[in-house]
Structure 1
């Protein structure tokens, strides 16, 4: 019964930590909630894998519960199979955290004097690894819990979201070690660093940005529900298309020059559908630009694309989604995972795009990562490095219903605005849509289930952040240092054992 605490205490900590994320947004909780499993590990030195696993399991179960509905309701899987696949994902992610705690415990035996710093180093290394694991799934990284704490998150313009994660885990680790050793030196230093980052953030926010000529933009949320069953129902499809047209005309009446429709606004093959001409005539007649997400069909392949329609060139530019959703938009390794075909029945089997594309509106350039792509910091910052002066992301979040997922997705997208110091426009089919300024302030927001549009003046920006230029150097440095420490630990302990055997 004594050992049961190594499961239940981290388990409760993981559930508590989730409260710092959307929709609860009690962000100060994460400043101390992780100190509980860390203290348990450094105090008892027992069951490190179980401690890490037990923290992550409830955290990811609560964070990702909406996946069960996606798989069962839209993926043609039984509820039982959906639960099985969901648990496989949660077990996999939780096992990675168990492994990290196991490695930290191992390395700490070789480097006991720096153990407090091992936790943030290895934690960030794992978060960076999650951008590649299972083709990439960096959802609800601990740094995203601070999205409403504007001064702190400004550090992401240098380090990316990983720098915020580092600070949060460092603070938790310092609390644990201070309690254990009764020495508060490291906690004081961590608090000083934490405060310094906040002061830096206040300075940046107060400094503001160099305003260029404003561009009036509008985001359209047509509230296209996945249960509307527009495919094959020409009457419903026409009604929904007309809803978008009416909202667009209202935005034009308010002098919007760029109008954003969401991903797969209506399910049509845009190039070959007569509704294309309606949008082009509207663009030409009113002298406005329309960016809209539709399915494209070229050379025998389907693409998840966004089209920029301009007054002079009709289809001015097209960006094809590069990072597709595995088992949602395509089936990886079909020979092995062919049984997953049923999951893609609703959305088709898409081909990945091959290059970044920047769209042009007047003299301004912008990038348009699609849906899932916004959770990948490096992909988004590449648009800015290539010259994007603001960012647009379109998404179909109708899959998620009224779960926490649309709110989580919006908070993740907002971090990209801060990292790259760019205005970000987000248009979704059912919500949450919004316009975010370069410091993470939400200027406009359309909640779930509303058929609305929002309009705002934005300022395209030229200056690039350190993160936009150099990417994940901070996270890569953490991974490099962690790897070196782990290898040195193996070498030292292995060398000692060999020496003893020879003696």
Structure 2
């Protein structure tokens, strides 16, 4: 088989193996070998060749991953995949120099080959972190997210954040590759020992933490702080969501679900993102009906609604979560602070505003305050107060942003979202992967209220405790679900100190650059 065709097949195999865990929760083990065919394909490649094959790897991965974006915009989907593939390309460009150094003796020299493995894993983490910041950021489908069902491994996130899990997965790939590449050598033996030690350390930490935390939940209930929360899932198709002819039908649906939830006596009911059918200030009759509904339900209700903000400061559009008390009166608002570029606004509007002629893009403004809501129990241990933050749409995929809400005092997190755009695909589950990691990182429960699903309750350990279901289906079904959350306010290392692990990865990259620069300088003498 020609080398080019073989290498092309290896890259395709890697892309398929890597994307499987994001579509099938049972497929998480594939992530630990997904990069190995790709690493073999990089053998004897120049920097340019490594860049091309790595770009192809990334482009195929993001196409296989986010095919559901074609339901929104085909051109945008291709453009986004082409952009995100650049992170793979630069990873390949840098890592090939350490994976296959020009001096072939370095490849089998344990003192140089093993540090190179850690350098390459660090490069990957730095790339993921930058992807979450550059051009507004899109930390979707990080390498760690494919492990969302691997409970033992993801527990390290409360120290390292999700990036520590990404580092671990990449490290395993690299060590297995080294063992396969040079079997029966001292390098392979050392790599095997490091692999075994890494796996045992990570899994042991996860097992110990889970046992400690589970023992707390099994303790006497009198010691626990609990609050009952209910979510409603309206299941409004995207093509009907803003049809003014049926706005009353949509409202009645949410009204009925609210009353059904209220029979379970929750302390808080959650409506999804923009579930109120119209701009709140433009619909006084529906707003009055909403207040009446909440008074009858006699509980706190958080409603997602588009709003116009303070009209005295000029017309501005916000994606908002509004908390109403049992008396139907508004308590507090949160305006979404991290907007979707080219969805809710156009970045660099003066230069790129022309895109509005070709695509339907919103005119939303970003909020400037990280609001913390307060609710209280009414049935179980009455008058216990709890604080929570409402993350709107994809705000839950940003680790740093969510951490700020937790630092501000949130006892639990809420994600109100609308994933109806993407049809009956893996998109809602990929979105929920981010929520799950935010729960583990900050050791707080996360409650998701999604228009068409996945609406669920996630424990601080990353378990999905309950979800809205109908005949076993979780997405594109109508329903409601309640759950009693147990609150244990113990800020994690990650919550207190942030991305210390990422800082160490940047330091490793700097040391790698210094090491390579010195080696190059000596070789030229």
Q: State TM-score, norm by structure 1.
A: 0.91
- Secondary structure of the equivalent of 1:360? strand
Q: Provide the rounded CA distance (Å) in 2 between the counterparts of 1:294 and 1:369.
A: 13
Q: Provide the rounded CA distance (Å) in 2 between the counterparts of 1:342 and 1:306.
A: 30
1:251 to 261, 264, 286: 261
1:69 to 64, 68, 71: 71
- Secondary structure of the equivalent of 2:477? coil
- Secondary structure of the equivalent of 1:373? helix
> What is aligned with 1:357?
371
Structure 1: segments with no counterpart, 5+ residues: 72-81
1:328 to 343, 346, 349: 343
Aligned: 1:199 with 2:182: no
Q: Provide the rounded CA distance (Å) in 1 between the counterparts of 2:34 and 2:251.
A: 47
Q: Provide the rounded CA distance (Å) in 2 between the counterparts of 1:301 and 1:372.
A: 21
What is the deviation of 1:364?
0.5
Q: Provide the rounded CA distance (Å) in 2 between the counterparts of 1:160 and 1:101.
A: 24
- Secondary structure of the equivalent of 2:21? coil
- Secondary structure of the equivalent of 2:317? strand
- Secondary structure of the equivalent of 1:21? helix
Q: Which whole-Å deviations, capped at 9, do the CAs of 1:280-319 have from their partners, x for residues lacking one? A: 2333444310001101112311010100101358111111
- Secondary structure of the equivalent of 2:388? strand
**Count of residue pairs the alignment pairs up:** 483
> What is aligned with 1:75?
none
Q: Provide the rounded CA distance (Å) in 2 between the counterparts of 1:335 and 1:230.
A: 28
What is the deviation of 1:45?
4.7
Q: Provide the rounded CA distance (Å) in 2 between the counterparts of 1:224 and 1:480.
A: 48
Q: Provide the rounded CA distance (Å) in 1 between the counterparts of 2:79 and 2:517.
A: 30
Aligned: 1:406 with 2:432: no
Q: Provide the rounded CA distance (Å) in 2 between the counterparts of 1:343 and 1:413.
A: 33
Q: State TM-score, norm by structure 2.
A: 0.87
Q: Provide the rounded CA distance (Å) in 2 between the counterparts of 1:379 and 1:191.
A: 35
Q: Which has the higher contact order (CA 8 A, sep 6+)?
A: 1
Closer, same or farther: CA 191–340 of 1 in aligned 2, 3 Å: farther
> What is aligned with 1:315?
330
> What is aligned with 2:53?
51
- Secondary structure of the equivalent of 1:402? coil
2:91 to 97, 100, 104: 100
Alignment of 1:15-414 (within 5 A): 15-23=16-24, 25-41=26-42, 43-46=43-46, 47-71=49-73, 82-83=74-75, 85-107=76-98, 109=101, 112-182=113-183, 183-208=188-213, 209=216, 212-233=224-245, 236-273=246-283, 274-298=285-309, 299=313, 300-311=315-326, 314-342=329-357, 345=360, 348-362=362-376, 363-414=385-436
- Secondary structure of the equivalent of 2:323? strand
What is the deviation of 1:156?
0.6
2:457 to 395, 418, 435: 435
Q: Which moved more, 1:393-402 or 1:305-314?
A: 305-314
- Secondary structure of the equivalent of 1:227? coil
Closer, same or farther: CA 491–180 of 1 in aligned 2, 3 Å: same
CA contact (8 A) 1:8 1:54 kept: no
Closer, same or farther: CA 475–308 of 1 in aligned 2, 3 Å: same
- Secondary structure of the equivalent of 2:487? coil
Q: Which whole-Å deviations, capped at 9, do the CAs of 1:212-241 have from their partners, x for residues lacking one? A: 3321110000011111153331xx110110
Structure 2: segments with no counterpart, 5+ residues: 107-111, 218-222, 377-384, 469-473
Q: Provide the rounded CA distance (Å) in 2 between the counterparts of 1:284 and 1:229.
A: 25
